[in-house]
Structure 1
Amino acid sequence: MTQDTSTYYVWIGGSCDYGHKERAGGAAVVIEHNGNIISRDVISDLHTTEFRMMLTLMVKVMQEIPEGSDILFLTNAAYIQNFDKTPTVKSANPDLIIQCIEEKKRHNSV
């Protein structure tokens, strides 16, 4: 993959342990910019899902990357493909989707 030097490439993934009552969820990111890894982050919590953790981390990343930037989230989790679509009554994590929509407005493209 040829990277544009002005774009922030955010590799994001998550995992959840559905086998235990605590159902621990977690997510991790690696952020690349101008050909260099500039940041890594991992978050986790009990009684949650990997998708909630991934959306939480996406909000955090969009808050930390400079306003007006181009951001490309890269993942194998199809769930976050619609992170910027207005949630419906059937949407999971509508609070975080709304936060993603608001943070996306700060950037040139996400």
Structure 2
Amino acid sequence: KDKRPCRVRSSNAGHTLFSGIAATEHAPRLVETLFQPDTFSGWGIRTIARYESRYNPMSYHNGSIWPHDNAIIAMGLARYGYKTETLQITTGLFNASIMMDLHRLPELFCGFDYASGQG
């Protein structure tokens, strides 16, 4: 309608680490943002942050967690030397897989907060 961009915090920013286009001086701020509690659920990084007006943890594009998206982000984090954060994502995905049938991750899963022993 008014042709202005939507300013929405999403997982897409993590792709800049994977591709290598994130400036080294901007990476710390980007990583900090990705791991805020409204973005990182403990299971993974949500497609959009929890405080966004259209957030819905059960929505395909608006708050769910995509394992392949998180794998891309984890690879980018490793590329920039963020070992602890890489481990946080891979651990979250591993913990999610334990809760899934045959321990296989689906295309996506709900973006609810992590609670130990619950899935």
Between Structure 1 and Structure 2, the one with more strand by share is: 1
Question: Normalising TM by the smaller chain, what interval?
Answer: 0.3 to 0.5
TM-score scaled by structure 1?
Answer: 0.32
